[in-house]
Structure 1
Amino acid sequence: MQALTDAILPVFVLIGFGWIAAWRGLFGETAVDGCMKFAQSFGIPALLFIQLSRLDLGQTFSLGLLVSFYAGAFAGFALGFGAARAVGRPPVDSVAVGFCCLFSNSMLLGVPITERAFGADAVPGALSIVAVHSPILYSFGILAMELAKSRGQNVPGPRLAMQVVGGILRTPIVLGVALGMAVNVTGLPMPDPLVQGIELLARAAIPVALFGLGGVLWRYRPEGDMRLIGVVVFASLVVHPVIAYGLGHFVFGLAPNHLRPGVLLASMAPGANAYLYANMYGVGRRIAASSVLVATALSILTSWAWIGLLP
Structure 2
Amino acid sequence: MESVMGALGPLFLLILLGYLLGWLRHPGSDFWPQLERLIYFLLFPAMLVSTLATADVAQVPVGRLALVLLGAMLALGTLLWALRRWLALEAAAFTSVFQGALRFNTYVGVAGAAALHGAHGATVAAVAVALLVPVVNVLCVASFIAAGTLGPSSLGQSLAALLRNPLILACLLGIALNLSGIGLPGWSEATVELLGRAALPLGLVAVGVALRPRALMRLDRGVWSANLVKLVLMPTLVLALALALGLDAVSRDVALLFAALPTATSAYILARQLGGDAELMAALITGQTLLAMATLPLWLQLAG
Residue 171 of structure 2, aligned match among 177, 188, 209 = 177
Percent of aligned positions that are identical? 24
Question: Which residue number corresponds to residue 228 of structure 1?
Answer: 222
Question: Structure 2 CA distance, aligned partners of 1:277 and 1:92?
Answer: 12
Question: Structure 1 CA distance, aligned partners of 2:279 and 2:80?
Answer: 15
Question: Structure 1 CA distance, aligned partners of 2:24 and 2:302?
Answer: 38
**Structure 2 unmatched runs, 5+:** none
Question: Structure 2 CA distance, aligned partners of 1:263 and 1:183?
Answer: 28
Question: Which residue number corresponds to residue 129 of structure 1?
Answer: 128
Question: Structure 1 CA distance, aligned partners of 2:67 and 2:183?
Answer: 33
Question: Which residue number corresponds to residue 156 of structure 1?
Answer: none
Question: Structure 2 CA distance, aligned partners of 1:280 and 1:172?
Answer: 18
The correspondence of residues 43-122 of structure 1 with structure 2, limited to 5 A, is 43-81=43-81, 85-105=85-105, 107-122=106-121
Contact 2:89–2:222 at 8 Å: present in 1 too? no
- 1:277 equivalent to 2:270? Answer yes
Question: Structure 2 CA distance, aligned partners of 1:121 and 1:179?
Answer: 20
Question: Structure 1 CA distance, aligned partners of 2:259 and 2:203?
Answer: 20
Residue 257 of structure 1, aligned match among 250, 255, 266 = 250
Shift of 1:163: 5.9
TM, length-normalised to structure 1: 0.88
Shift of 1:115: 2.4
Residue 238 of structure 2, aligned match among 233, 244, 267 = 244
The correspondence of residues 187-206 of structure 1 with structure 2, limited to 5 A, is 187-188=181-182, 190-206=184-200
Change (3 A) 1:28 1:185: same
Contact 1:22–1:218 at 8 Å: present in 2 too? no
Question: Structure 2 CA distance, aligned partners of 1:175 and 1:152?
Answer: 26
Shift of 1:32: 1.6
Task: Describe the superposition over 1:123-178 as per-residue Cα deviations: whole angstroms up to 9, x where unpaired.
Answer: 3222211112211111222233223338998xxxxx99966642321211111111
- Partner SS state of residue 30, structure 2: helix
Shift of 1:79: 4.6
TM, length-normalised to structure 2: 0.90
- 1:168 equivalent to 2:167? Answer no
After superposing the two structures, state which structure 1 stretch, 37-46 or 212-221, moved more.
212-221
